[in-house]
Structure 1
Amino acid sequence: MGGRFDITIVAKNKVTAEKNIDTVIAEISRIENLISDWKPESQVSRVNQNAGIKPVKVDLEVLELTERAIKLSEATKGAFDISFAALDRIWKFDGSMIEMPSAESIKKSVSLVGFSNIILDKEKSTIFLKLKGMKIGFGALGEGYAADKCREMMLAKGIKAGIVNASGDMSTWGIQPNGKDWIVGITNPVKEDAVLVVIPLKNKAIVTSGSYRKFVEFDGKRYSHIINPATGYPSTGLISVTVLGPSAEIANGLSTSTMVLGMEAGKEFLKKYPAYSYLMITDSGNIVYSNDPIFSKMQLSKISPNN
């Protein structure tokens, strides 16, 4: 899925731990081979290759993941949209971009974005993209989904504690061997070698979306990798959104959506998900968080490079 996975397992001995870590790695690879839009042989890639041509039969879990993504798209009125993947032809965050995309090219790419043009047939288990050139991608859900699936698998195997960290999408269960909760640090987005706040976790997931790592700069202005599907331009207003709750997949979708929606609309949107808490950091460094005992203990209200 193009990211780093770190796996921690609490077990009676090293052999058991390593065996289960291998099982987790195999599960991550299995999911990647289903949903990666970078692997041409994956089911999602085949869906993209047949956009505007024909429906493609997929596994039930791919269909259901797509269905959940569409429901989130509906809930955000398009601020989240898995068909945003067509925009990767315009914006590149791998160091290869040498100039700002033209307004015309951005407008053209947005014309291929629209979750309403994703047709699911649950009976036949197919996905069809109505427009030729459309693409779907699970960059904002896939890693969280994989982390959740691995946690479920380990619990089913009797592994009572661990962490699956999918490039920052963290799914935790149980407690540390010393009897304490897992401890997770949220990075200071304006000083990445520093931790802004430390959060204790037990049987919860935590995800941070931010504009401070993957970006390009033109004429002194920063453009982040989180794109507003409606406009085709990078989101603005927030530099970091952390969401905490039961599922890494859902937390990932909520954090990405909130980055696009912005602070005020994001706060209203997140009220629909009372099982999830949030911490937002604005472009100006202001910190806004939900009414959660974990966050309410913090003394920070604003950050700067010296925090």
Structure 2
Amino acid sequence: MLREFKRPQKLMGNAFEITVVSDDENSANQHIDAAINEIRRIEKLLTTFSEESQTNLINRNAGIKPVKVDWEIFDLIERCLRISRITDGYFDISYGGIDKSFWNFDCEMKELPNPELIKDHLKLVNYQNIILNREKQTVLLKEKGMRIGFGGIGKGYAAEMAKQMLQNRGVTSGIVNASGDLTTWGNQADGRPWTVGIADPDNAKQPFSYMNITNMAIATSGNYEKFVVINGKKYSHTINPKTGIPVSGVKSVTIFCPNAEIADAMATPVSIMGNDVALHMINQINHLECIIIDDQDKIYSSQNINLK
């Protein structure tokens, strides 16, 4: 008889949960082990904290020389640059230069960082200064001090790769949930589609809507989990790469797309761009949908979304 086997696991600094549908506990556990190992492998590849990682090597050689990388990293960066172009630079993996230096959402911040300081660092944020050479398989960051980071796409990429691995192993149904960015395929053990709740930004434990999905990924970016309040104004942990200032005005963005990597990558720019621009962009792209909730609890959704 088919059953659902679930396992929570801390990976990439986030709470992951992997679910597979199987009639055999033993093989289900082996599949889940394989998926976890795949996510660990990706974490090693993408982390900026380890001296060993290629990402770290690229950053250390910024403004110095091109770095030869695995095709996997090369292709991922190439896809990131494509998303940067589509989103007019609101998605930018070179945001590493401003990320943690000013904004720390884990501690008490009492005032905004010095705008001059931010301006200085912003000069280093520009995806157009990430130079790829396909013939030589190299990546060069043009300016000294530039840094790339995969925080905006890494979880979605890992979820997508784990899903592919599970499918290759013959798992016909499952979910890889990367701390709220999740990808689904097939159906539940009872044959019905997976049901996912869209989190209510004012009460993360309580979904405001449910959707039945299969072969679909969902990513949410919201200010309800990490934020600071300075002079009575709430700033989310999502930083606008063009201003260096965190976003305010949008409570949450949920993206629907068949691919978890793209869903993850689009959630951030949509929360920064402003609703009209964002919805216009989403409506131009096939198989991409979104729901935006603003600070006044007004709900905006792209053309093909039918909320229950």
TM-score strictly above 0.5: yes
Tell me, in whole angstroms, the C-alpha distance in 2 between the residues paired with 1:170 and 1:24.
Answer: 14
Tell me, in whole angstroms, the C-alpha distance in 2 between the residues paired with 1:69 and 1:297.
Answer: 30
Q: Tell whether the 8 Å contact from 2:234 to 2:248 is kept in structure 1 after alignment.
A: no
Secondary structure at the aligned position of 1:241 is classed as strand
Q: Deviations over 1:184-232 (max 9, x none)?
A: 1111101222111111111111111112211122222221111111111
Q: Which amino acid aligns with 2:42?
A: I
Compute the displacement of 1:96 (Å).
Answer: 6.1
Compute the displacement of 1:246 (Å).
Answer: 0.6
* Consecutive unaligned residues in structure 2, runs of 5 or more: 1-11
Q: Which amino acid aligns with 2:92?
A: D
Detail structure 1 runs of 4+ shifted over 3 Å in the superposition. 96-99
Q: Tell whether the 8 Å contact from 2:283 to 2:302 is kept in structure 1 after alignment.
A: no
Q: 2:85 aligns with which of 74, 77, 85?
A: 74
Other-structure match for 1:209: 221
1:56 corresponds to 2:67: yes
Q: Which amino acid aligns with 2:167?
A: L
Q: Tell whether the 8 Å contact from 1:237 to 1:263 is kept in structure 2 after alignment.
A: no
Secondary structure at the aligned position of 1:62 is classed as helix
Other-structure match for 1:227: 239
Tell me, in whole angstroms, the C-alpha distance in 2 between the residues paired with 1:55 and 1:94.
Answer: 34
Q: Which amino acid aligns with 1:254?
A: M
Tell me, in whole angstroms, the C-alpha distance in 1 between the residues paired with 2:144 and 2:102.
Answer: 17
Compute the displacement of 1:97 (Å).
Answer: 4.2
Q: 2:306 aligns with which of 291, 296, 301?
A: 296
Other-structure match for 1:166: 178
CA RMSD of aligned residues (A): 1.3
Tell me, in whole angstroms, the C-alpha distance in 2 between the residues paired with 1:12 and 1:71.
Answer: 41
Compute the displacement of 1:38 (Å).
Answer: 2.6
Q: 2:290 aligns with which of 272, 278, 285?
A: 278
Secondary structure at the aligned position of 2:199 is classed as strand
TM-score, scaled to structure 2: 0.93
Other-structure match for 1:185: 197
Q: Tell whether the 8 Å contact from 1:51 to 1:128 is kept in structure 2 after alignment.
A: yes
Q: Tell whether the 8 Å contact from 1:84 to 1:135 is kept in structure 2 after alignment.
A: yes
Percent sequence identity is: 44
Change (3 A) 1:51 1:98: farther
TM-score, scaled to structure 1: 0.93
Compute the displacement of 1:98 (Å).
Answer: 5.0
Q: Tell whether the 8 Å contact from 1:184 to 1:199 is kept in structure 2 after alignment.
A: yes
Tell me, in whole angstroms, the C-alpha distance in 2 between the residues paired with 1:98 and 1:52.
Answer: 35
Compute the displacement of 1:104 (Å).
Answer: 1.2
Q: Tell whether the 8 Å contact from 2:176 to 2:182 is kept in structure 1 after alignment.
A: yes
Secondary structure at the aligned position of 1:10 is classed as strand
* Consecutive unaligned residues in structure 1, runs of 5 or more: 299-307
Q: Tell whether the 8 Å contact from 2:109 to 2:230 is kept in structure 1 after alignment.
A: no
Q: 2:141 aligns with which of 122, 125, 129?
A: 129
Secondary structure at the aligned position of 2:276 is classed as helix
Tell me, in whole angstroms, the C-alpha distance in 2 between the residues paired with 1:33 and 1:259.
Answer: 28
Q: Tell whether the 8 Å contact from 1:90 to 1:109 is kept in structure 2 after alignment.
A: no
Q: 1:95 aligns with which of 85, 90, 107?
A: 107
Q: Deviations over 1:129-166 (max 9, x none)?
A: 11111111111111101111111111111110110001
Compute the displacement of 1:167 (Å).
Answer: 1.2
